[in-house]
Structure 1
Amino acid sequence: MRIGLLLQRFGWPPGAAGPALARVGRDAEQAGLSSIWVNDHFRQIPMFGDPGEPFLEAYTALSFLAAATERIGLGTMTTAVTHRHPALLLKMLTSLDALSGGRVWLGLGPPWHEEEHRAFGLPLGPWSERFERLEDTLALTRQVLSGSTEPFEGKHYRLPEPWFAPSFVRPPPVLVGGAHERRVLRLVARYGDACGLHEDGNPAVVGLKLRMLRDCCAELGRPFEEITVTTYGTARLSATGEPGTSTVAEAARRYGELAALGVHLSIVDTGETAGPETVGLLGELAAAVAPP
């Protein structure tokens, strides 16, 4: 199993964000983490903090990290399809792919944060429309990644000339995740290279979701083995196992259970603004659960 770092918090002092984020990227790369992920929202979401706290725009942060690092993967967890028109999103993706040398992932999901959409004046329809827009974006992405420049006609988006240059250094893996997982998993089976499953410290629930995904793949004639299985959740680590935290050895047992279920990549939120000690402990976890 590989370990990625999810950045949820950006609580650095004013003016310190650039050097601090660059150091996180370099430290994560040196620690052996496979990837860095940014939660794609326009302000902090309620379950993680106050909406007024500092929060970086996802693709700006990833572009900055691309310049500060050399090897580590970069992705969003996950981009709500109503945050940007899919043509703009794909143009950003091709640019980030070129600038990073082919290290980008595309994480996509249905929009859910209604208060955020209201605050920023973003369109948000009923759930049926949200999934239609997600499927449009996924279908367009698959067409663009195939190299086709044929006109695209979706239910909500129409692109007469979907031509994007530069071409991809590496076609970005498309990760599909988000709420209403029964519907999301069918889209993973149809369009995705990877699934994003919320694990919340409960391997049994992950096993159930993987059985659902296997069933979806069987219905569509898609080999389940083609899909990279990823999970995301929180692991508060400390060197000594202080109250409310886990030691690396304790966390390794938890992630070992996920690996035994067939999880390839766990994307971990450390529960705090990432710093050298936190990233170092996550690197120890990565080494402990790495394949032999």
Structure 2
Amino acid sequence: MRLSISITNFSWRDERQGLEEHLVSIAEAADHGGIYGLWVSDHLLQADPYGAGPGETEMLEAYTTLGYLAARTSRIRLGTLVSAVTFRPPALLVKAVTTLDVLSGGRALFGIGAGYQGEEAAAMGLPLPPVPERFDRLEETLQIALQIWTGDTSPYHGRHYTLDAPVGSPPPVSRPHPPILIGGTGEKRTLPLVARYADACHVFDIPDGGKTVRHKLAVLRALCDDLGRPYDQIEKVIATRLQPGESTASFVTRCATFADLGIDHVSVITTGPWTTEGVGTLVEAADQIVALGAAASAGPS
């Protein structure tokens, strides 16, 4: 089982250290501590679901941040959780992810979704078409990304996007391409896109005894079966929150329940900005959580 941290809040308030120093200390602690991945939110306005209070407004542009962190780390994977498909034209988004992958030595993760923040879009003048159109654009963007990453420069003609010669040079270091994670669990549009195009899905830690996660994964398995795609090719990622003051033992126990549900990767957010102490809890838990995944894969003895 893999373990990653998701940074949703950049509002560190400390007279001794600035935002950049806090961000680097978190990234370096995760990198040195063996954490698999680091995600950042792709927003222009603060969107922390567990913000500690008013005034937490700092938000960095995602791909500039990831490029900077790529230079300050050596092994941790880097991506957005997730980029709204309407924020950037497909070729620009694919180029940003590819550039991150090339300059980081193959460490990029491609997190993408249909987008949902109406207030942010209105405030900042960002496009947010109706839901059906956003999903159409999401599928076309996935098709464009895969075409570019295979080196196919033939014209692409979709309903919303036309590329006369989609050239991707240099190509990504990752082979066959940076792993694609599609955010969301909708059964009509999102999970079918996961089954067809993605390397990872993204579900949520809902306090219902695992009922929702089991259901969503069962739907995904059926969709894969219909396509003739091996279900195990798709990594199952769950988002959970590290509780304030939570112990390593408590967190490992929670991850054990995720392993029992068939989860391969735990992405962790926290209340407010991350602290080095919070990352330390994950680092202490990392080896045990990797072992949980191995035990789950082995099955009963």
- Category of TM-score, reference length = shorter chain: over 0.9
1:58-137 correspondence runs (5 A) = 58-137=62-141
TM-score, length of structure 2 as denominator length: 0.90
Task: Tell me what 1:217 maps to.
Answer: 224
More moved, 219-228 vs 102-111: 219-228
Q: Name the amino acid aligned to 1:266.
A: V
Structure 1 residue 236 and structure 2 residue 243: aligned? yes
1:174 to 169, 177, 180: 180
CA distance in 2 between partners of 1:155 and 1:191 (Å): 18
Partner of 1:11: 11
Q: Which moved more, 1:266-275 or 1:73-82?
A: 266-275
Q: Report the secondary structure of 2:79's partner residue.
A: strand
Query: Is the alpha carbon distance of 1:29 and 1:45 closer, same or farther for their aligned partners in structure 2, counting shifts above 3 Å?
Result: same
Which residue does 1:31 correspond to in 2?
33
Checking the alignment, whether the CA contact within 8 Å between 1:43 and 1:51 is kept in structure 2 is no
Q: Which amino acid aligns with 1:221?
A: G
1:251 matched to 2:251? yes
C-alpha change, 1:59 and 1:201, in structure 2 (3 Å) is farther
Structure 1 match to 2:46: 44
Q: Deviations over 1:130-179 (max 9, x none)?
A: 11011111111111222211111111111111101111111200001126
CA distance in 2: counterparts of 1:272 and 1:156, whole angstroms? 38
State whether residues 136 and 157 of structure 1, in contact with CA within 8 Å, keep that contact through their aligned partners in structure 2. yes
Q: Quick one: distance in 2 between partners of 1:236 and 1:147?
A: 45
Q: Does 1:194 align with 2:200?
A: yes
- CA gap 1:51/1:94 in 2 versus in 1, 3 angstroms: farther
Whether the aligned pair in 1 keeps the contact of 2:185 and 2:203 (CA below 8 Å) is no
Report the CA distance between 1:94 and its aligned residue. Answer: 1.4
Task: Give ranges in structure 1 of 5+ residues lacking alignment.
Answer: 239-245
Q: Which amino acid aligns with 2:286?
A: A
Select 2:164's aligned residue among 157, 160, 172: 160
Shift of 1:272: 2.7
Q: Gaps (5+ residues) in structure 2?
A: 295-301
Determine helix, strand or coil for the equivalent of 1:290. Answer: helix
Q: How many Å separate the matches in 1 of 2:211 and 2:34?
A: 28
> Structure 1 residue 145 and structure 2 residue 152: aligned?
no
User: Structure 2: how far apart are the matches of 1:142 and 1:206?
Assistant: 28
Contact 2:11 2:56 in 1 (8 A): no
1-structure distance, mates of 2:114, 2:50: 19
- Aligned-partner SS, 2:189: helix
Find the aligned partners of 2:20 and 2:48 in 1 and give their Cα distance: 25
Deviation at 1:200, TM superposition (A): 3.2
SS in 2 for 1:225: helix
1:267 aligns with 2:274: no
The residue identity in structure 2 corresponding to 1:280 is: G
Which residue is 1:280 aligned to? 280
Pair 1:206-2:213 in alignment:
yes
If the length of structure 1 is used for normalisation, what is the TM-score?
0.92
The Cα shift of 1:201 comes to: 4.5
Deviation of the 1:52 alpha carbon: 6.0
Distance in 1 (alpha carbons) for counterparts of 2:109 and 2:87: 17
- Does 1:226 find its partner at 2:233? yes
> Aligned letter for 1:191?
Y
1:51 deviates by 7.9
Is contact 2:50–2:272 with CA below 8 Å preserved after alignment? no
Amino acid in structure 1 at the alignment position of 2:95: K
1:191-227 deviation line (CA, Å, top 9, x unaligned): 1011111223553321111101001111222111111
Instruction: Tell me the equivalent position of 1:2.
Output: 2
Corresponding residue for 1:241?
Answer: none
Partner SS for 1:19: helix
Instruction: Note if contact 2:87-2:126 (Cα within 8 Å) is conserved in structure 1.
Output: yes
